[in-house]
Chain A
């Protein structure tokens, strides 16, 4: 389906309005397989909206979003197939509270991927090892710390074998001492070559893992480049101000 060289996610001149607010003003990005793209910017700049439009949680007014060769159209029948290829991690974890950790990981595998119970459990256990909480399989989400919940959420998304992972401020709702355990898991993923789009203000993660950083403001991309270039030598005045505020 996808060509080896083409972008796995292609966002082309996307516009989005919320009532009178012009949330995205002609955003274009290409993400190549294996790339880690970190999106930063002040709140309300459209970062989350951009991310959510990639798996059709947000409809777009104009432009195109193409994931792995398929045009995203939330009205289209194939939207579920495309979504299964795009893992999403939310700020508020959004684990299913009525299911155990294991069931959280197996539900979509059996219902969407049509794997049998045995296979999906095996995959779930392997992923829980990967995110370093194999002992919590039978617990309910409410019995886990925030950091553990977010790692389960990452494992749940990975269980679908997505081609791309989207992270929408994955550490913003966490206590400071739990941020690193989540970032470590994300770093592992990046090193393994997972294609990732990350909305985050964790500059350490951006420096270590990002192949590119995008700075957005008012629905537009203002600056783009490798993290070192962008952070150490910001050419854009607005970005310089923003960085000086979040780096302290």
Chain B
């Protein structure tokens, strides 16, 4: 009785403060200091906003573009997922024509900078398509009877926001294609074989067996790409689309308040990406539980 209690008694009070202390050190070491830094920077900015009229004006101008930024990001991303899924399925297809078309798309997209792709869609592909439609309309006029049926499409009818969305969607679609391909290939061959041996067709096996598993597996990279898309949407400012970046550029060049404007702009993107990555993490954990 005496032995174990005597040997145990001094150890316990000695052990407790050490472990509590080390736990406190541990907690202190594991605090998200990066987040604290960002919060402090935010507080500093808020202080600047309360004391400096220019910051408030800059923020007001930049917020004018936030809807465009989010709109462009959302539409482009959803379109990119659809394009990427289609191209990803093409990349694993046994059909040589489909495989080659999908691979050509992916290789071209990955070999050209996104800014150049935006310029190319806006100033080369879209005008060419419009010319093509008009030529077709001219040719069809005697048949259709109505001279205005297809000849009235003007270049300015397709606004630059839409051109940018198309370009971003195709650019990111190329990247997502490889993500989807990797996901599909990571699912063992046995899954496809089991589904096929039950009499399912290839599309059925893909849809009900392989893709549900593959998509769950590629959620993290897909989430990362959504955040990248938000940042890359700033490229649309090069074509004059009035997103946050373009609003900032217009204000800065008119007021010469570069420091205030671009600090606010950078911080706005940071806030948006942090919110978005929290959302992405939330969705990922929810899906993992399912």
Interface residues of A (CB under 8 A from B): 55, 57, 80-81, 83-88, 90, 92, 94-98, 107-108, 111-113, 153, 156-157, 160
Contact = CB atoms under 8 A, between A and B. Distances in A.
A94 B193 contact: yes
A234 B67 CA distance: 82
A-B interface, 9 closest residue pairs, ranked by CB to CB distance from nearest: A84-B199, A94-B194, A108-B198, A88-B197, A94-B190, A112-B199, A83-B199, A80-B199, A98-B212
Contacts of A97: 213
B209 interface: yes
19 contacts: A57-B197, A80-B199, A80-B201, A83-B199, A84-B198, A85-B199, A92-B190, A94-B190, A95-B194, A96-B195, A98-B213, A107-B198, A111-B200, A111-B204, A112-B198, A153-B194, A156-B198, A160-B198, A160-B199
Interface of B: 188, 190-191, 193-201, 204, 208-209, 212-213, 216
A88 to B, nearest CB: 4
B191 A94 contact: yes
Contacts of A92: 188, 190
Given A97-B213, A98-B213, A90 B200 contact: no
Contact of A57 (B188, B193, B200, B216): B193
A96 B204 contact: no
A180 B208 CA distance: 32
B193 A90 contact: yes
Consensus secondary structure, chain B interface: helix
B214 to A, nearest CB: 10
A157 B209 CA distance: 15
B204 to A, nearest CB: 5
Contacts of B191: 94, 96
Given A55-B197, A157-B198, 4 more contacts: A88-B194, A90-B193, A94-B193, A156-B198
Contact of B196 (A57, A81, A107, A153): A57
A57 B188 CA distance: 15
Contacts of B190: 90, 92, 94
Nearest to B194: A94
B230 to A, nearest CB: 30
Nearest to A81: B199
Contacts of B194: 88, 90, 94-96, 153
Contacts of B200: 80, 108, 111-112
A53 to B, nearest CB: 12
Contacts of B209: 96, 107
Contacts of A153: 194
Contacts of B188: 92, 94
Contacts of B201: 80
A206 B197 CA distance: 24
B196 A83 contact: yes
Given A92-B190, A98-B216, A107 B208 contact: yes
A172 B201 CA distance: 29
A92 B197 CA distance: 14
A167 to B, nearest CB: 12
Nearest to A77: B201
B198 A83 contact: yes
